[in-house]
Structure 1
Amino acid sequence: MFDLKLTGIKGLVVLVVLVSVALVGRAHANPRYASIVINADTGAVLHESNADASRYPASLTKMMTLYMLFEAMQQGKMTLDSRMPVSVHAASMPQTNIGLRAGETLSVRDAIPALIVRSANDAAAVVAEALGRTESNFGRLMTEKARQMGMHSTIFRNASGLPDRAQITTARDMVKLSVRLMKDFPQYYPYFSTQSFRYRGITYNSHNRMVRNTHGVDGLKTGFIRASGFNVATSAKRDERRLIAVVMGGKTAASRDQHTVKLLDRSFKKATPAQLVASSNHTSDTTHSRSNSLTDAPIPAAKPIVSLTGEPDPAAILRGEFMPVSDVSENSNLPKSNSWAVQIGSYFEPSRAHAQAQAATRWVAGEVAVVEVEISNRIFYRARVVGLQKNQAFNACQSLSRNGMDCMVVRS
Structure 2
Amino acid sequence: MRTVFATLKRIHAPLLSAMLAILTALAVAIGPAQAKQDYAGIVMDAKTGKVLYSHKGTAKRYPASLTKMMTLYMLFEALDTGRVTKKTRIRFSRHAASMQPSKLGVKAGSSISVQQAIYALAIKSANDAAAAVGEHLGGTESKFAQMMTAKARSLGMKNTVFKNASGLPNSRQLTTARDMALLGIALREHYPHYYRYFSTRSFKFGKRSYRNHNRLLGQIRGYDGIKTGYTRASGFNLVSSVEDKGRSIVAVVMGGRTGKSRNAQMAKLIRQYLPKASRGRDRIVVAKAGGGAGNVFASLLKLVKRAPLPEPSPREPDPAPVVTAYAAPTPAPSQVIGRSPDPLTTASVKPAAPVTSAAASEPIAIRESISGWHVQIGAMPSKHSALARLEKARSALPGLFDTVANYTETVESGGTTLYRARFAGFTSKDAAWGACSRLKKAKFDCLALKQ
Q: Shorter-normalised TM-score: what interval? A: 0.5 to 0.7
Contact 1:150 1:403 in 2 (8 A): no
**What SS does the aligned partner of 1:218 have?**
strand
Q: How does 1:6-405 map to 2 (within 5 A)?
A: 31-270=37-276, 273=279, 401-402=362-363
For 2:42, give the aligned amino acid. Answer: I
**What SS does the aligned partner of 1:402 have?**
coil
Q: Aligned-pair distance for 1:247?
A: 0.6
CA distance in 1, matches of 2:212, 2:356: 39
**What SS does the aligned partner of 1:156 have?**
coil
CA deviations on 1:291-314 (whole Å, 9 max, x unpaired) are xxxxxxxxxxxxxxxxxxxxxxxx
Instruction: Give the ranges of 4+ consecutive aligned residues of structure 1 lying more than 4 Å apart after TM superposition.
Output: 328-332, 362-365
Q: Aligned-pair distance for 1:363?
A: 5.4
- After superposition, the Cα gap between the structure-2 partners of 1:403 and 1:122, relative to the gap in structure 1 and judged at 3 Å, is farther
CA distance in 2, matches of 1:94, 1:400: 36
**What SS does the aligned partner of 1:222 have?**
strand
CA distance in 1, matches of 2:271, 2:137: 39
Contact 1:59 1:119 in 2 (8 A): yes
CA distance in 1, matches of 2:267, 2:126: 26
CA distance in 2, matches of 1:278, 1:67: 21
For 1:402, give the aligned amino acid. Answer: P
CA deviations on 1:210-265 (whole Å, 9 max, x unpaired) are 11212211111000000000000010111021111011000111111111111111
CA deviations on 1:378-403 (whole Å, 9 max, x unpaired) are xxxxxxx9xxxxxxxxxxxxx86425
- In structure 1, stretches of 5+ residues that fail to align are 1-29, 280-327, 333-361, 366-384, 386-398, 405-412
CA deviations on 1:40-79 (whole Å, 9 max, x unpaired) are 1111111111000000000000000000000000000000
CA distance in 1, matches of 2:139, 2:282: 44
For 1:119, give the aligned amino acid. Answer: S
CA distance in 2, matches of 1:89, 1:278: 43
CA deviations on 1:266-305 (whole Å, 9 max, x unpaired) are 102346745xx598xxxxxxxxxxxxxxxxxxxxxxxxxx
Number of residue pairs matched?
265
**What SS does the aligned partner of 2:217 have?**
helix
For 2:101, give the aligned amino acid. Answer: Q
CA distance in 2, matches of 1:165, 1:216: 35
CA distance in 2, matches of 1:270, 1:98: 41
CA distance in 2, matches of 1:183, 1:250: 27
**What SS does the aligned partner of 1:213 have?**
coil
**What SS does the aligned partner of 1:140 have?**
helix
CA distance in 2, matches of 1:201, 1:267: 42
CA distance in 1, matches of 2:258, 2:183: 24
Q: Aligned-pair distance for 1:106?
A: 1.3
Contact 2:45 2:277 in 1 (8 A): no
Q: Percent of pairs identical after alignment?
A: 48
Contact 1:178 1:233 in 2 (8 A): yes
TM-score (norm 2): 0.56
CA deviations on 1:148-203 (whole Å, 9 max, x unpaired) are 11111000000000000000000000001001111111100001001110001100
Q: Aligned-pair distance for 1:330?
A: 7.2
CA distance in 1, matches of 2:160, 2:166: 14
CA distance in 1, matches of 2:246, 2:108: 46
- After superposition, the Cα gap between the structure-2 partners of 1:253 and 1:38, relative to the gap in structure 1 and judged at 3 Å, is same
CA distance in 2, matches of 1:74, 1:363: 24
For 2:242, give the aligned amino acid. Answer: A
Corresponding residue for residue 291 of structure 1? none
